[in-house]
């Protein structure tokens, strides 16, 4: 798949830039990974007003307890927009109701990497109180949401910002980047010694910030600012995946970053999340 405008939504970019130009807030939220209550609490805390927008940086789904609800919340909210993450791409390419009956290697890989919790949340949403599965409606819901995910842009390019799930390969021209780079890249992007875009700060998720250059276990839940600077002395990149899904003795927070004034608002994970809860989230 070629890079460039095919992977962007120009109309959406113009809408977001207009919002910023008019003094409104555009908040960018890192990887949600199925934690629907935490996302709803963070959006409530942000309290977007008319003209404000919230951008979800991909990986809405997988691992957490209710990916189905996260997707419906994003789809039904007029002021929430999304870019595609690698977990959405895996669901698009592998999930089908028929496939769940006898998973092939690709589907099994996705299920192992957090997709089982997503599949379970869809099945639960279409199972009535007596335990009867509404198979036809479930199949339609899965296919409709895959179509919605597939049309999401892989990046959003504004006057001062690039919003992307994972980042960019510094060895590839920006107009030639594909989903391979924008949805998956890690170390080459994080270790770049020059700005990816001399005019724009890249805001990204995908890699928990605790693992980014210069961070350590002391930085759980902290936003990462690249030491590489633009000519305007702004950071070349900002990482906001503060890892809401982990099960360690450390802060588990979801982060929102404001493109208008650089404010940061965080929400600690609302859902109880331990080995038992993880097991329950993955029980079909």
Model pLDDT for residues 199-235, shown as the tens digit of each residue:
999 999 999 999 999 998 889 999 999 999 999 999 9
d(CA 55, CA 269): 19
Beta bridge partners of 164: 155, 204
Token duo for residue 42: 């963070």
- The pLDDT of residue 266 is 99
Summarize pLDDT for 78-101 with one digit per residue, the tens: 999 999 999 999 999 999 999 998
Average pLDDT, the chain: 95
pLDDT-derived band at 108, boundaries 50, 70, 90: very high
With a cut of 80, say whether residue 164 has pLDDT above it. yes
* Residue 173 pLDDT > 60: yes
In this prediction, residue 264 has a pLDDT band, given cuts at 50, 70 and 90, of very high
The CA distance from 98 to 142, in Å, is 11
Contacts with 87 (C-beta within 8 Å, 6 or more apart), sequence order: 33, 58, 59, 60, 61, 62, 113, 114, 115
Split at pLDDT 50, 70, 90, the class of 2 is: very low
Between 2-6, 211-215, 261-265, 267-271, the lowest mean confidence (pLDDT) is in: 2-6
What single DSSP character describes residue 236? S
d(CA 114, CA 63): 4
Give CA–CA dist 216/17, Å, rounded. Answer: 35
- 3-state class of 9 per DSSP? coil
7-84+154-281: CATH topology = Purple Acid Phosphatase; chain A, domain 2 (3.60.21)
Domain-wise residue ranges, the chain: 7-84+154-281
CA–CA separation, 238 and 211 (whole Å): 13
pLDDT at 278 over 90: no
pLDDT-derived band at 4 (thresholds 50, 70, 90) equals low
Backbone angles phi, psi at 264, to 5 degrees: -120, 125
Q: For 155-177, what is the mean pLDDT?
A: 98
Q: Does the pLDDT at position 1 exceed 70?
A: no
- The pairing of beta strand 161-164 with beta strand 26-29: unpaired
DSSP state of 111: I
Q: Are 27 and 267 in contact (CB under 8 A)?
A: no
Taking residues 168-189, what's their average pLDDT?
98
Q: What is the pTM of this model?
A: 0.95
Token pair recorded at residue 283 = 């029980």
What was the pLDDT predicted at 273? 83
- Identify the residue with better confidence: 216 or 114: 114
pLDDT band at 280 (very low <50, low <70, confident <90, very high): low
Helix 135-150 vs helix 86-94: crossing angle, to nearest 10? 130
Q: What is the dihedral of CA 102, 124, 205, 6, to 10 degrees?
A: 70
Closest by Cα among 54, 120, 115, 70 to 89:
115
What span, in angstroms and rounded, lies between the C-alpha atoms of 101 and 99?
5
**pLDDT tens by residue, 56-65:** 999 999 999 9
pLDDT on residue 6: 73
Which among 81, 90, 83, 56 is positioned nearest to 152, based on CA atoms? 83
Contact yes or no for 205/31 (Cβ under 8 A): yes
Note the pLDDT of residue 284: 57
Sign, CA dihedral 166-86-88-273, equals negative
Mean pLDDT, range 129-154, rounded to an integer = 96
Specify the pLDDT at position 106: 96
**So what's the pLDDT on residue 282?**
72
């Amino acid at each position: 798949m070629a890079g460039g405008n095919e992977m962007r939504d120009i109309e959406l970019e113009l809408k977001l830039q207009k919002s910023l130009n008019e003094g409104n807030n555009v908040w960018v939220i890192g990887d949600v990974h199925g934690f629907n209550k935490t996302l709803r609490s963070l959006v409530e805390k942000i309290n977007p007003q008319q003209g404000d927008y919230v951008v979800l940086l991909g990986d809405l789904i997988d691992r957490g307890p209710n990916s189905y609800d996260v997707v419906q919340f994003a789809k039904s909210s007029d002021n929430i927009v999304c870019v595609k993450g690698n977990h959405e791409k895996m669901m698009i390419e592998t999930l089908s109701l028929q496939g769940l009956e006898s998973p092939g290697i690709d589907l099994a890989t996705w299920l192992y990497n957090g997709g089982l919790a997503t599949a379970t949340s869809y099945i639960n949403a279409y199972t009535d109180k007596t335990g009867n599965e509404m198979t036809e409606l479930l199949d339609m819901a899965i296919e409709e949401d895959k179509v919605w995910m597939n049309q999401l842009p892989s990046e959003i390019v504004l006057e001062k910002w690039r919003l992307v799930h994972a980042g960019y390969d510094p060895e590839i021209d920006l107009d030639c980047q594909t989903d391979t780079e924008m949805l998956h890249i890690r170390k080459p992007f994080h270790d770049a010694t020059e700005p990816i875009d001399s005019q724009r700060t890249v805001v990204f998720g995908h890699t928990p910030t605790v693992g980014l250059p210069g961070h350590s276990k002391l930085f759980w839940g902290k936003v990462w600012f690249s030491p590489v600077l633009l000519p305007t002395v702004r950071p070349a990149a900002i990482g906001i995946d503060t890892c809401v899904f982990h099960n360690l003795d450390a802060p588990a927070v979801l982060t929102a970053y404001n493109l208008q004034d650089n404010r940061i608002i965080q929400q600690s994970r609302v859902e109880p999340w331990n080995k038992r809860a993880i097991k329950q989230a993955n029980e079909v």
